[in-house]
């Protein structure tokens, strides 16, 4: 069921909804169009990938469990092809392992069914805002939206270098914390000279923490600065991505940089010699 476009223009952005459940597709198309999005529908993974080649969407709403090509496989194929379009995964309550796999494949966040339409709209708006500055080449901070952080935990949204990796004086300069080095211009991360295989969202999270090294950031602050969620949201995306970043920065037995401050949040601290 491809090519179900929404209203001309779609001032809020073009959304590709991918789900093998026809009722869910119709419901999301109706609700998103009423909220100002242009909408295309795909009933499976193969159709979704074909549509993304023909008419790339601004953001993808992607069901994890589909019979032909799963949402995990679709997300992996997009990332392997260099497409960093924001992807919001949809999952059932009992699909915890699949949700984790979807985020590892490059998904940006997930919603558990059933969910309120307004929460979906808010998350899509946030993901689109974070990607909005990406109008130049990928090497100039494109495709990833805002990866930066403010100069302290209380910096307002949009202040200083927090709006995007290419915004603000010095925003593209390399950031170093101990043996860790992050290059916002190339979106590469190294530790002890070895490149870390970070996804776009993992890099953005680590960059925010590195620019605030030694400062404890709460989950809400990280959700706002990395995901653009300036509203109350129930998600364990921060904890999930922190675990991914730790796994990659600590490979080979390296000491831990990313610390948990119980009851507060997370902080990046230079390892002790």
Alpha helix positions (H), 135-199: none
> Residue 151 above 60 pLDDT?
no
> Under CATH, which architecture does the 14-131 domain have?
3-Layer(aba) Sandwich (3.40)
Handedness of CA 25, 29, 31, 36 (dihedral sign): positive
Q: Where are the domains of the chain?
A: 14-131, 138-268
Which region among 69-78, 107-116, 231-240 has the lowest average model confidence (pLDDT)? 231-240
pLDDT at 171: 61
Full-model pTM? 0.65
Q: Output 173 or 157, whichever has higher pLDDT.
A: 173
Q: At residue 205, what are phi and psi to the nearest 5 degrees?
A: -65, -45
Query: What dotted CATH number matches 138-268?
Result: 1.10.10.10
pLDDT band at 145 (very low <50, low <70, confident <90, very high): very low
pLDDT in tens, 59-107: 999 999 898 899 999 999 999 999 999 999 998 866 678 888 888 888 9
Calpha distance 254→252 (Å, rounded) = 6
Strands 188-191 and 194-195: antiparallel
């Amino acid at each position: 069921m491809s090519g179900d476009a929404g209203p001309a223009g779609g001032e809020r952005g073009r959304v590709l909804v991918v789900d093998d459940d026809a009722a869910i597709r119709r419901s999301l198309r109706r609700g998103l169009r009423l909220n100002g999005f242009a909408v295309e529908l795909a009933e499976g993974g193969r159709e979704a990938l074909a549509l993304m080649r023909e008419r790339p969407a601004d953001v993808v709403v992607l069901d994890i469990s589909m019979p032909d090509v799963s949402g995990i496989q679709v997300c992996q194929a997009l990332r392997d092809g260099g497409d960093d379009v924001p992807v919001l995964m949809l999952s059932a309550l009992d699909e915890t392992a699949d949700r984790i796999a979807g985020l590892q494949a490059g998904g940006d966040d997930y919603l558990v069914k059933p969910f309120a339409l307004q929460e979906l709209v808010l998350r899509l708006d946030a993901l689109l805002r974070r990607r909005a500055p990406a109008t130049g080449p990928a090497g100039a901070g494109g495709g990833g939206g805002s990866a930066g952080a403010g100069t302290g935990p209380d910096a307002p949204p949009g202040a200083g270098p927090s709006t995007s990796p290419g915004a603000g004086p010095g925003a593209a300069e390399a950031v170093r914390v101990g043996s860790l080095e992050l290059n916002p211009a190339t979106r590469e991360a190294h530790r002890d000279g070895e490149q870390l295989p970070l996804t776009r969202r993992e890099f953005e999270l680590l960059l925010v923490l590195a620019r605030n090294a030694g400062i404890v950031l709460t989950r809400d602050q990280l959700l706002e600065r990395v995901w653009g969620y300036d509203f109350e949201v129930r998600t364990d995306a921060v904890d999930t991505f922190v675990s991914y970043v730790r796994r990659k920065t600590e490979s080979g037995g390296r000491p831990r940089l990313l610390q948990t401050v119980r009851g507060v949040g997370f902080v990046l601290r230079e390892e002790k010699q």
